[in-house]
Structure 1
């Protein structure tokens, strides 16, 4: 004869709900089993991860719980992290891998972004602290300065354009005029401010 289940709490509140027999009232009582334990990080990813394109890096994220939680990664905006062939991998154990890559395959969306590890099980979901991933490309790079057309008597602002993959690690130290005269830049972004421009045609080099 089938017996009805009288829950201590709504059984639907957790997939891990179990029933025990109450012989006194000849029914089964439902509740959440003690064997269920929400996910807890045993190895949380670091806040900042720097690596070079010649070495690559593996970012580990490990969570424990009962049942065993599934570990996944998302971007800061909530989009799931997917594999990008040769540039980004998500292993079944929850590790996020950035293999070594050639300089011309640097991608700011992959190599200069914020990632979040999450662990999910029947016991709930927990989010790790955000991890800022920064790849540094090792090798030669060139800076550029674009021509500015300025009327005489006005102020010219010259900017030194540094490639994005090394911009965070490069400081503009000076601008050189005629290979001998150094102009030291402003404190804001290495700009060269020329006030009351008098030259009709002149050249400056960014260092």
Structure 2
């Protein structure tokens, strides 16, 4: 049976004697407090703190990154090239991080996820970008229908894939980033973290 106090409150609402939901200024909120204990910003800030301890100069670019994964990958590579050639926007060693959640337009029948597609796409543009590492991962440890959190790419990724019998361009066209990265040893597997605050992409650039 519904407690009488609850029934009375519902009846008052039905009659219009009380608002359906509490509105701003209601005394019910006088002792209420909202605390965000997990967010993309918090995850990025934790990564920045770790990188700072390791001696990296760091920059959080945005936590609102959206768009096609392979386009975001090219943007990440462009940041790396800027850091390598101009040492901008940071002195080296540098780490730039951005968060959000990209999308993948599925054209093939392969297996992967948005972060693995970022890594594979970045690999295709990084053959002549030295001292740069791009890491893309899902904060919950699960990227797409795979057991990987994401992947990484550097100037040697294309060679590792080709040595393993993978055509990187064909793999990207087939949306088969998981197999390509796995064969190259460029997958990131963390296991489930049970906390999903979207994705993070990192651009690391090291000095000569």
TM-score of the pair, normalised by structure 1: 0.21
Using CA pairs under 8 Å that are at least 6 residues apart, name the structure with larger relative contact order, 1 or 2. 2
Higher-Rg member (1/2):
1
Q: Which has the higher helix share?
A: 2
TM-score of the pair, normalised by structure 2: 0.21
